[in-house]
Structure 1
């Protein structure tokens, strides 16, 4: 089966959750014999033509806030019209218009929409309106819609009355990592720091993590890892929230083996989001056996399957209390770590995820 992948920045993944899911899924699809082309943003300029058996096609985009994805996906969709793909694997509900255009030209798509993006604070009033309209359009034009969180699945089925597929992203069970020197560079010690990893956005509330940690009595440190080139104001807000406490480090985005080491050697992983799909950072933390402290939004509760200490998402004092509890109670951390690995092993497998996407793509292509 020939598959075109649109709606992401490209692979190897170095930006967000869509890219991580795309990379891990299409690598397996390629191993299983499918012919995959991933549309990547920017010009090639010496970048590889292939990645682990996957063709990489580079096209330009308009690199402005909220314009990079739609501009690139539009160009990619036009290109895809003239290529003999059996199915299109599309990402991001904001690309529903491009999926509609592809359908007009006979291209069937599987659209992975993540969670309910119109709830996210990073978009203005127009952006949230556009995403809600895109959501409604997607429900009409995509051959298959996929979400990675059960609350999102319920929303689509209730509001639009159509079947939506729940396919959670995966993770790996990690038993060892390569030493990279990142802990020494950041002034951290193994199992003596709290970790937050993710794009810095208002709905993920990393500033709140810093503010809560300042009120906690502990010798542990806090590492808030992530960046956001499209919202420097919020990045600065996080840095300002961390100022004045030498225990807190905000190093910016870190990728690859360094991130792997940070996860593996963390004492606690924290997520304070008020809006999520299924957080890939939470899944990766569980695969590393890290005790979890997460906000009690429905998406987080459905993702962790009881393997996390929860705090009320709208109660700062409860957040501080639970953060103090988890850093102070080694026995609690040990119990949560064991639960994390159990849940990761039971529910989150990249092979299972890829097999489910393969079934939908084959059906869209009329090859099932």
Structure 2
């Protein structure tokens, strides 16, 4: 059968969690004998023109929208929706940001699965109109698709309030990091176990300012490495840098997987300040690297990281935890062991992808049998 993957910028992954997931899932499905089509956004091609190729056995269809930014994304999603109506198979839509377009798929009788992502309309960075748009699309998506998918039990509970359907819970995955090139640390002037790391968008809801401020208030020879893209015109970004002591490093956004793996694998602990969202890819990857985790205390992070990690509710608690983690080795080792165990039991890619294949093929087969009987 053919499975059509929509809602990402495309593969191979270069932009974020959904792209990584789309790549992992597409490659796995092809290895299992399925035909896979992934829609890819082409920001540098001729506007309004479709192009097609094959990459590692996966069919890719590229479309270049006329506009840039959010408007361009909406144009791209609408073009993909119109195109997929002519394709065979089932549709997997990643994210509900333009779920209203999936009405067209359902009106044509297509089988549509939708990963409901995080609770996007609650994010502080969006304007009122953007929040209204996301909220309406969340409600539409939850109600019109055949099967809503949640990557976290809390997301499933949230979606259940919006519709009568019972979402299927399948978490995000990550590959374990068993080793990394220690020499990659030299570029940053770091050594094994000499630093803590945070990998996140530099946004208030990710508690970056609190992380930097708390760490900077501590007397230590350890470093804090904050990975993320900084914009000199962004007031919040500037406030983060202003709060930093000389022991805080800002190398920017790094996309080299070997460097990122080394920073994860050799850090003393991973800092995760995300306050909203489902199963965050960066947190799952930290578990896969065997990191001790210091995370914001909320149901999302507590379920993913497990009870053996360190959680803070405010800056005072965070400072106390940092003091403890920077000096204590026994409980740190226990947290690292628990992280690897938690990852192996819940977030291995092979387990996640098998669940997706079973869902996509089983539900489609049931639907075909039902149609044959009518």
TM-score using structure 2 length: 0.89
SS at match of 2:205: coil
SS at match of 2:301: helix
Q: 2:100, 2:140 within 8 Å by CA — same for their partners in 1?
A: yes
Residue in structure 2 matched with residue 52 of structure 1 by the alignment: 56
Tell me how many residue pairs correspond in the alignment: 360
Residue in structure 2 matched with residue 13 of structure 1 by the alignment: 13
- C-alpha deviations, 1:196-251, integer Å up to 9, x for none? 1123333112222111111122211111112278x955444433443xx2211111
1:337 deviates by 0.3
Q: 5 Å matches for 1:32-71?
A: 32-42=32-42, 49-61=53-65, 64-71=68-75
1:53 deviates by 2.1
Residue in structure 2 matched with residue 239 of structure 1 by the alignment: 241
Taking CA–CA contacts closer than 8 Å with sequence separation of 6 or more, which of the two structures ends up with the larger relative contact order? 1
- C-alpha deviations, 1:84-108, integer Å up to 9, x for none? 2x11111111121122122223322
Decide which moves more: 203-212 or 288-297. Answer: 203-212
1:155 deviates by 1.5
1:82 deviates by 2.1
Distance between the aligned counterparts of 1:68 and 1:319, measured in 2? 40
Residue in structure 2 matched with residue 217 of structure 1 by the alignment: 219
Decide which moves more: 142-151 or 159-168. Answer: 159-168
1:20 deviates by 2.0
Q: 1:218, 1:328 within 8 Å by CA — same for their partners in 2?
A: no
Distance between the aligned counterparts of 1:49 and 1:265, measured in 2? 39
Q: 5 Å matches for 1:1-368?
A: 1-42=1-42, 49-61=53-65, 64-84=68-88, 86-178=89-181, 181-227=183-229, 232=234, 234-242=236-244, 245-255=245-255, 256-312=257-313, 315-362=314-361, 363-364=363-364, 366=367
Task: Provide the alpha-carbon RMSD of the alignment.
Answer: 2.2
Distance between the aligned counterparts of 1:50 and 1:65, measured in 2? 27
Q: 1:89 to 1:113 in 2, by over 3 A?
A: same
Q: 1:333 to 1:205 in 2, by over 3 A?
A: same
Structure 2: stretches of 5+ with no match in the other structure: 46-50, 370-374
1:263 deviates by 1.0
Distance between the aligned counterparts of 1:330 and 1:140, measured in 2? 49
Distance between the aligned counterparts of 2:127 and 2:251, measured in 1? 28
- C-alpha deviations, 1:288-322, integer Å up to 9, x for none? 1111100111100111121311111xx22111111
TM-score using structure 1 length: 0.91
Distance between the aligned counterparts of 2:357 and 2:145, measured in 1? 16
Structure 1: stretches of 5+ with no match in the other structure: none
Distance between the aligned counterparts of 1:252 and 1:215, measured in 2? 22
1:62 deviates by 5.7
1:67 deviates by 3.0
Distance between the aligned counterparts of 2:296 and 2:66, measured in 1? 35
Q: 2:52, 2:61 within 8 Å by CA — same for their partners in 1?
A: no
Distance between the aligned counterparts of 2:170 and 2:76, measured in 1? 25
Distance between the aligned counterparts of 1:122 and 1:8, measured in 2? 21
Q: 1:26, 1:354 within 8 Å by CA — same for their partners in 2?
A: no
1:276 deviates by 2.0
Distance between the aligned counterparts of 2:353 and 2:177, measured in 1? 19
Distance between the aligned counterparts of 1:139 and 1:21, measured in 2? 21
Distance between the aligned counterparts of 2:201 and 2:55, measured in 1? 24
Distance between the aligned counterparts of 1:222 and 1:68, measured in 2? 36
